[in-house]
A and B are shown apart, each in its own frame.
Chain A
Amino acid sequence: MSSKTARPKQLVIVSGKGGTGKTSLTASFAQLNQRAQITTAIVDADVDASNLDLLLEPYDTQTEAFHAGVKASIDPALCIACGSCEEVCRFSAIRPPTAAGLEQGSNGAYTVDTLSCEGCAACQVVCPVEAISMQPQQAGVWHRSQTRFGPLYHASLFPGQENSGKLVTLVKQQARLHAQEEGLQLVLVDGPPGIGCPVISAFSGADLALIITEATLSGLSDLERILKTIRHFKLPAIVCINKFDLNPQGSRAIRQYAGQENLIVAGEIPYDPIFLEAVTNGKPVTDYESESPALQAIHTVWQKTLDHLWETN
């Protein structure tokens, strides 16, 4: 149909294994998009160890609080120390009064270990004297910034928090809304490592996943798990192999596996100290004027990935 709405395409870069080069590649894609005049909203979905901002020199950053979930709080003035709350808590988050606490003047009330509390409110249900309330929690902050390559949506989950998936969903939603309003062509997502909650959140609404793996046995093992996860959610995927020349045999094994799985290899990027130099200087590697094979390989991977992305429905 000719009246096809210009919904922005969404590309998510993932790896399973950490440290394979997701963030370096995302920053390079952001710059290559900008050079090719592909308007892009950029998302850092690795909300508990976010690094993309370190390569994109963000400015005009606006920050907002991220509230998620609740935690139990026991009013010591009302607590009768019956222990019902501790009995029902399945997260070992309720602590009985300790001898040391009593010495220090505690009146014997139970307390909540907020790092263990998952905010289920079971304790509140059983408390016979209504001493327990559920308190909203700030779990982090999220930011909207400008960069020379387009708007950046990023976040910082406070250390030790749950709800990373919710924060991923929030920053992605904000980026998508902005991209729609402004008629941008692409939402580019730097995904988190692993295959769990935040990764699954990063997949929602995506059109294509680019997996960046490395030519190691660990890379292959984690590639298998991330690919199964991607296929579980019925998302199209392609793969690229980073530092392929550190272990040419490992690289062949990955190509062979990709062949078996009908997974297209978008390219192989050789090991190049220029990556380290770029990270150290806080720039995308594509910022360097160089004819290096690594940069050429990134260009190939970028081109092939976008070709696939535009073809997705």
Chain B
Amino acid sequence: MSTFRIAVASGKGGTGKTTLAVNLAAAIARSQGNTPPLFLDCDVEAPDAHIFLKPAFDQSETVSLSIPAVDPQKCTYCGKCAQICQFHAIAVVGKNVMVFPQLCHACGACGLVCPEDAISEKDYPIGKLERGKAVNGISFARGLLQIGEPMAKPIIERLQKWALPLPGQTLILDAPPGTTCSVVETIRAANYLLLVTEPTPFGLHDLTLMLDLAGMLSIPHGVVINRGGDGSGIIEKLCQERQVPILLTIPFRREIAAGISQGELLVDMMPEYEQILLDLYETIQKSSQAVFETGRSSFQGGKA
């Protein structure tokens, strides 16, 4: 049985990505006959899923980039490294080569062009990975971007290679907000993308961007409306136009918001959500299977 990979994203922040992702994980883990899923918190800038799933971390690993180290004995200050670097991460000033680690993409181009073989690589830490068992037997892992470091994407990439699902274990990926490369890195290998939105013009605008991105990546997707209410019509209209299913609407209730604010799970506060989320899980599995059988259009995320 192959791994079913579900990504949860939103575009706009604070719509309830983490709420949906952690409760879906808990619902799957609690139902009879399921292997508890693997949960990856890919919001490495502002991770919050641990607040709800309460993992006990017992393993960690540093994420480093391989940045250039220049041997002053061999360097002739020809400047070819600085010329090729597309990111202005290496500069030759007189008899001095300066490397700016926070601009470096660790691509290795400088080493390839150095005629003196003066460039080797050294590790530059940008964050870390942690994993352990969480509530209901859920396997939990997350990445953490180090304070002051700009690049989140390599940490998200490394997290997915470090914490691998067991055969048949469902994978849940909690994405960062926004629509940039970090989000692509999180969702690109997913079999199904859950888009969480709120019924406001902000939610609508950012959902539209995410629908475009899901289309570009050819990932089957559906929408969950959080804090649903009278205003949901604008989201329904968009989903109708784009022929995207609305899988679930979670109403706004002050007591839900209060419980979530204290790290409570929705499936504990309102036990009926366990079955509701299991039904959603079944629906998206079927829908992803149907797409798979009719031949998915060509996008296959990288080599990973």
B88 → A minimal CB distance (Å): 11
Across the interface, do B86 and A195 meet the contact criterion of CB distance under 8 Å? Answer: no
Across the interface, do B148 and A215 meet the contact criterion of CB distance under 8 Å? Answer: no
Counting CB contacts under 8 A, is B257 at the interface?
yes
Across the interface, do A54 and B202 meet the contact criterion of CB distance under 8 Å? Answer: yes
Counting CB contacts under 8 A, is B112 at the interface?
yes
Across the interface, do A122 and B112 meet the contact criterion of CB distance under 8 Å? Answer: yes
Counting CB contacts under 8 A, is A105 at the interface?
no
Counting CB contacts under 8 A, is B91 at the interface?
no
- With a cutoff of 8 Å between Cβ atoms, the chain A residues found around residue B101 in the complex are none
What 0/1 pattern do residues 189 to 209 of A give for CB contact below 8 A with B?
Answer: 000111111111000000000
Across the interface, do A88 and B108 meet the contact criterion of CB distance under 8 Å? Answer: yes
Across the interface, do B181 and A160 meet the contact criterion of CB distance under 8 Å? Answer: yes
The bracket for how many chain B residues form the interface is 35 or more
Interface residues of A in 79-114 (CB under 8 A from B): 88, 90-93, 100, 113
In the docked arrangement, what's the CA distance between A119 and B108, Å? 12
- With a cutoff of 8 Å between Cβ atoms, the chain B residues found around residue A170 in the complex are none
Stretch of A4-12, A14-22, A260-268, A301-309 that contacts chain B = A14-22
Across the interface, do B261 and A193 meet the contact criterion of CB distance under 8 Å? Answer: no
Across the interface, do A246 and B254 meet the contact criterion of CB distance under 8 Å? Answer: yes
- With a cutoff of 8 Å between Cβ atoms, the chain B residues found around residue A232 in the complex are 147-148
Interface residues of B in 44-72 (CB under 8 A from A): 45-48, 51
Counting CB contacts under 8 A, is B176 at the interface?
yes
Counting CB contacts under 8 A, is A300 at the interface?
no
In the docked arrangement, what's the CA distance between A46 and B304, Å? 30
Name which residue of chain A comes closest to B254, CB basis. A246
Interface residues of B in 201-227 (CB under 8 A from A): 201-202, 205-206, 209-210, 212-213, 216-217
Across the interface, do B304 and A48 meet the contact criterion of CB distance under 8 Å? Answer: no
- With a cutoff of 8 Å between Cβ atoms, the chain B residues found around residue A49 in the complex are 11-13, 177-179, 205-206, 209
Name which residue of chain A comes closest to B43, CB basis. A194
* Residue of A116, A119, A232, A282 ringed by the most chain B CB atoms within 10 A: A116
Name which residue of chain A comes closest to B260, CB basis. A216
Across the interface, do B150 and A197 meet the contact criterion of CB distance under 8 Å? Answer: yes
B134 → A minimal CB distance (Å): 15
Across the interface, do B209 and A247 meet the contact criterion of CB distance under 8 Å? Answer: no
In the docked arrangement, what's the CA distance between A59 and B212, Å? 26
B211 → A minimal CB distance (Å): 9
Across the interface, do A250 and B147 meet the contact criterion of CB distance under 8 Å? Answer: no
Counting CB contacts under 8 A, is A145 at the interface?
no
Across the interface, do A196 and B149 meet the contact criterion of CB distance under 8 Å? Answer: yes
Counting CB contacts under 8 A, is B258 at the interface?
yes
Counting CB contacts under 8 A, is B246 at the interface?
no
A274 → B minimal CB distance (Å): 13
Task: Tell which of B87, B148, B213, B257 touches A229, judged by Cβ atoms closer than 8 Å.
Answer: B148
Name which residue of chain A comes closest to B234, CB basis. A280
Counting CB contacts under 8 A, is B137 at the interface?
no
- Given A92-B302, A120-B105, A125-B112, check contact A164 B180 (CB 8 Å): yes
Across the interface, do B257 and A246 meet the contact criterion of CB distance under 8 Å? Answer: yes
In the docked arrangement, what's the CA distance between A257 and B42, Å? 26
Across the interface, do A118 and B260 meet the contact criterion of CB distance under 8 Å? Answer: no
In the docked arrangement, what's the CA distance between A18 and B11, Å? 10
- With a cutoff of 8 Å between Cβ atoms, the chain A residues found around residue B153 in the complex are 162
In the docked arrangement, what's the CA distance between A23 and B210, Å? 19
Name which residue of chain B comes closest to A126, CB basis. B112
Interface residues of B in 34-48 (CB under 8 A from A): 43, 45-48
- Given A91-B107, A92-B303, A195-B45, check contact A70 B200 (CB 8 Å): no
- With a cutoff of 8 Å between Cβ atoms, the chain B residues found around residue A120 in the complex are 86-87, 105, 107-109
Across the interface, do A161 and B84 meet the contact criterion of CB distance under 8 Å? Answer: no
Report 19 cross-chain contacts, Cβ distance below 8 Å, ordered by A residue. A17-B14, A19-B15, A49-B206, A51-B202, A118-B107, A122-B112, A159-B212, A160-B216, A165-B150, A193-B176, A194-B43, A196-B150, A217-B262, A228-B147, A229-B148, A246-B258, A246-B261, A249-B262, A280-B231
Interface residues of B (CB under 8 A from A): 11-15, 18, 43, 45-48, 51, 84, 86-87, 105-109, 112-113, 145, 147-153, 176-184, 188, 200-202, 205-206, 209-210, 212-213, 216-217, 231, 254, 257-258, 260-263, 298, 302-304
Interface residues of A (CB under 8 A from B): 15-20, 23, 46, 48-49, 51, 54, 69-70, 88, 90-93, 100, 113, 115-116, 118-122, 125-126, 134, 157, 159-162, 164-165, 192-200, 214-219, 221-222, 225-226, 228-229, 232-233, 243, 246-247, 249-250, 271, 276, 279-280, 282
List 15 additional A-B contacts (Cβ < 8 Å) besides A18-B15, A280-B201. Answer: A49-B206, A91-B107, A116-B302, A120-B105, A126-B112, A193-B13, A196-B150, A196-B151, A221-B46, A228-B147, A229-B147, A229-B148, A246-B257, A247-B261, A279-B201
